[in-house]
Amino acid sequence: MQGLTEEEAVARLTGHVRLRTLVVLRWLAVAGQSFAVIFVHLSLGFPLPLGLCLAAIAASAWLNIFASLRYPAQRMLGDKEAAFYLAYDILQLACLLYLTGGLKNPFSLLFLAPVTISASVLGLRATLALGGLALACITFLALFHFPLPWSPGETPVLPPMYLGGIWAALVLGLGFTAIYAWRIASERTRMSTALAATQLVLAREQKLSALGGLAAAAAHELGTPLATIQLVAKEMALEFDKEFDKTHPLAEDADLLVSQAERCRDILARLSLRGEEGDIVHDTMNLESLLSEAVEPYRALGADICVRIAPPATAEPITLMRSPEILYGLQNIIENAADFAKKRVDINAEINGAGLKIIVSDDGPGFAQEVLARLGEPYITTRAAAHGPRRPGAAAPHEGMGLGFFIAKTLLERTGGEVAFANRLGPDRDRPSGARVSVFWAAAAVDALAGRP
């Protein structure tokens, strides 16, 4: 979903509901409405327009039958189709309530159901349209309706103020439940898309990390056929030397084939050597090598990147297992710092009995206060906003989807790290003088990263 806005990314995964789901829900509504109408009319003895009520219920049953026969049950409905079915449910409910007392009927609470369903699975536009339709029906029923079914000879009279309270309660309940359901569904969808992006990034990094082993395997497998080609080419060259004394047109080609086969063997030998080293060296790295590899791609961005490790390099270096999660997470943080730094990025690492701490800070404008508390959540970005003039020679800042810090934080926390975002305070302590991201691994997490039990 690269290049999509937050709304577009969420819309990709919303607005789809199975036809079977709506059909099953409508059958439940038909059963409940039929039972309520028959119970009130026959058991309680309250007179009501039974024929018209059953006709309205039958219309829902016929719509279900038509939809089941016309379309497959697994058909996925888009926003417009699903909104049409839910709009019908609102109108059918309004018709039944019109025949049975309007807002005086306690079942008017069921107006919340279609709008809540829409807020959970459909887009914001469809939910607003259905909410407006429900509001119009509620207002109409507050003014126009058949009498509420009651005992013969008795007519319940509710004060207008009470009816106004019912109307207000339904309107507020409609808005609250719709907003609540929409926010929860949106958060779930954003988190799902962000986690999917994280999994793709991790899979890519793991593939890149495994290329060393694949190269060694390829070198081993190609060694035998290449040796055969080289042997045959040498025999051809010897035959040409014996019979034609290198005057045959193909003699030069045979010599070229031998030389290129030897060159291929040298290349495969180097790949195989790298693969053997990778078992011992490539799969482990000390802290200095880890930071050097994380920093190297971003030295050309223009900022002066300074790496400091405490205790000094004379102390015994810590050796860690190579982790694509740590490398990618740190690179994402360093890239962001190098993009926004004016001149300098500082990377400080410290290892002690408490654990390992890496701090990445820059001298740029710092994080915007309105997003600082939310950094690490998906789709939170400040790249679109101008943070002052760009450094001379630096690449133009790109507008991301706001997944960079989320992916970095997710991957680093997967390794046992704790990520914190803050601003560096300037001399006047009123305005930030740069951004600061710290990652801390406790001693137990460091042991796990080092492969120690």
Residue type, 428: D
DSSP for residue 109: G
297: which 2 tokens? 């791609």
Quick one: the chain helix, strand, coil %, rounded to 5?
A: 65, 10, 25
Rounded Cα distance between 392 and 113, Å, is 58
Which pLDDT belongs to residue 450?
Answer: 78
- Which of 107, 112, 49, 104 is CA-nearest to residue 86? 112
Cβ–Cβ < 8 Å for 412, 445: no
- Count other C-beta atoms under 10 Å from residue 288's C-beta: 14
Rounded Cα distance between 57 and 383, Å, is 54
Cβ–Cβ < 8 Å for 348, 310: yes
Which pLDDT belongs to residue 395?
Answer: 44
Tell me how many helices (H) and strands (E) the chain has. 14, 9
- Each residue's pLDDT tens digit in the chain (453 positions)? 444 444 444 444 444 678 888 999 999 999 999 999 999 988 888 988 999 999 999 999 999 999 989 888 778 888 888 999 999 999 999 999 999 999 999 999 999 999 998 888 888 888 999 999 999 999 999 999 998 888 887 778 888 899 999 999 999 999 999 898 888 877 777 666 666 666 666 666 555 555 555 555 566 566 667 777 777 777 777 776 666 555 666 777 777 777 777 777 777 666 655 544 444 445 677 888 888 888 888 877 777 889 888 865 445 567 787 777 788 888 888 888 888 888 889 999 988 878 889 999 988 888 888 778 778 776 666 554 434 444 444 444 444 446 677 778 888 888 888 888 888 876 665 667 788 899 999 988 888 887 766
Residue for token digits 């709304």? 7
Find the distance separating the first CA and the last CA of the chain, reported in whole Å.
Answer: 40
Cβ–Cβ < 8 Å for 109, 97: no
CA distances (Å), 61 to each of 69, 110, 111, 205, in order?
12, 18, 19, 54
- Which of 361, 374, 369 is CA-nearest to residue 385? 369
| Sheet with 432-442: strands ordered across | 304-310, 344-352, 355-362, 432-442, 417-425
227: which 2 tokens? 């040796």
Cβ–Cβ < 8 Å for 93, 111: yes
Which pLDDT belongs to residue 294?
Answer: 86
DSSP for residue 15: S
Rounded Cα distance between 122 and 16, Å, is 7
